Amino acid sequence: MSYTKLNFQELLQKSEAELQELLKNKKMELFETRMKLKTMQLQDTSLISKIRRDIARIKTAMRQKRGN
């Protein structure tokens, strides 16, 4: 699995619905990665923290778009 970091500027250009869908997908990816870790199938353990940072970037972009 190759990982590409999400760019914050690109996230700001997405709509609220696109961000919601991306957030849902990243949360599912985090769940699957954690399951791979528990079953000893995960090679790169830093992937979990990278996905968590992506989720934080998405949530920050959503808050910034709302103006809060």
Mean pLDDT of 36-54: 95
User: 14: which residues sit within 8 A by CB, 6+ positions away?
Assistant: 22, 61
Mean pLDDT of 43-49: 94
Q: Domains (ranges, CATH) in the chain?
A: 8-63 (1.10.287)
**Residue 59 backbone zone (phi > 0: left; psi -120 to 50: alpha; other: beta):** alpha
Q: What is the pTM of this model?
A: 0.89
Average pLDDT of the chain to the nearest whole number: 92
Neighbours of 5 (CB within 10 A): 9
pLDDT at residue 41 tops 60:
yes
**What pLDDT is attached to residue 67?**
83
Q: Is 58 helix (H, G, I), strand (E, B) or coil?
A: helix
pLDDT at residue 39 tops 70:
yes
